[in-house]
Amino acid sequence: MKANKPEFELMMGFLREGDTIVIWQLDRLGRYIRALI
């Protein structure tokens, strides 16, 4: 269930241990819970 999300992959490449992602709507990060974990 991998979606083509280039911006998400770019963000993940910049993250380091201890970083925090802040979002204002959960559906902006992923459509399905299984895709988020």
Q: What pLDDT score does 37 carry?
A: 62
- CA gap 18, 25 in Å, rounded: 21
Q: What pLDDT score does 22 carry?
A: 87
DSSP 26: G
For residue 3, pLDDT beyond 70: no
Q: What pLDDT score does 20 carry?
A: 93
pLDDT band at 36 (very low <50, low <70, confident <90, very high): low
pLDDT in tens, 10-29: 988 999 999 998 887 766 66
Q: What is the pTM of this model?
A: 0.51
